[in-house]
């Protein structure tokens, strides 16, 4: 295998590692930071560690590379615990008002598709509510938690962005959708009630927050 010190070859090595779990040894010239940067760009750092450990490819990394990856993934796991706590708080606030919410995209996939949710760590949190009025109601309900509107959406948008900062640091960004599909031509394709009927429960959060069925996801 050619040197893995350039970004393209390192990306190829990551693909091999994730596919087989037993990649060729990583070039010692690749620094621990280069490995982490490459894995983070692809969003697979935690998945990489899990795959190498489960398939016997852990020794493909040097001790320094292993230590750096392990330490980083511990931080990712801790960050996910904070994310899960935030989801629980959001569900409790909205359910107390009799609202239903569907968790979308990465956060939902992490909870129902992956063996450990931190293996699919995403950025923002996407929520689907029943209507634009419900989105506005959610904005008011979440304001005491520190969420504020990031900007005013246009008239043809079905999405509201809320952000919560702590000590000037962004802690969570919510994309609150009132339609599953943002394109106006397809916005009415799926009703919330139809999606909710087939939705699946999520482990770790309350019953008023569910995920799309595999068919709709």
pLDDT (average), residues 100-104: 98
Q: Give me the pLDDT at residue 2, please.
A: 47
Is 152 a residue whose pLDDT tops 80? no
- Name the more confident of 53 and 158: 53
Global pTM reads: 0.88
- Name the more confident of 188 and 90: 90
Q: Are 65 and 35 in contact (CB under 8 A)?
A: yes
Residue 26, CA distances (Å) to 19, 31, 37, 60, 182 in order: 15, 10, 15, 6, 43
Query: Between 3.30.460, 3.40.1710, 3.30.160, 3.40.1350, what CATH number should domain 80-211 receive?
Result: 3.30.460
Summarize pLDDT for 31-61 with one digit per residue, the tens.
Answer: 999 999 999 999 999 999 999 999 999 999 9
Q: Where are the domains of the chain?
A: 7-61, 80-211
Other beta carbons less than 10 A from residue 20's beta carbon: 13
């Amino acid at each position: 295998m050619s040197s893995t010190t350039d970004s393209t070859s390192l990306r190829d090595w990551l693909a091999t590692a994730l596919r087989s779990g037993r990649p060729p040894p990583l070039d010692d010239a690749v620094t621990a930071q280069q490995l982490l940067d490459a894995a983070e760009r692809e969003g697979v750092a935690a998945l990489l560690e899990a795959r190498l450990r489960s398939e016997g490819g852990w020794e493909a990394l040097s001790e320094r590379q292993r230590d750096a990856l392990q330490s980083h993934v511990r931080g990712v796991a801790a960050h996910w615990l904070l994310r899960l706590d935030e989801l629980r708080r959001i569900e409790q606030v909205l359910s107390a008002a009799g609202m239903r919410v569907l968790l979308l995209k990465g956060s939902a996939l992490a909870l129902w598709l992956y063996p450990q949710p931190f293996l699919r760590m995403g950025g923002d949190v996407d929520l689907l509510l029943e209507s634009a009025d419900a989105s506005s109601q959610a904005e008011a309900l979440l304001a005491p938690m520190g969420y504020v509107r990031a900007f005013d959406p246009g008239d043809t948008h079905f999405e509201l962005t809320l952000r919560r900062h702590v000590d000037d640091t962004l802690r969570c960004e919510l994309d609150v959708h009132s339609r599953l599909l943002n394109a106006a031509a397809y916005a009415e394709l799926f009703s919330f009630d139809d999606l909710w009927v087939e939705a699946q429960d999520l482990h770790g959060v309350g019953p008023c927050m569910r995920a799309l069925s595999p068919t709709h996801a």
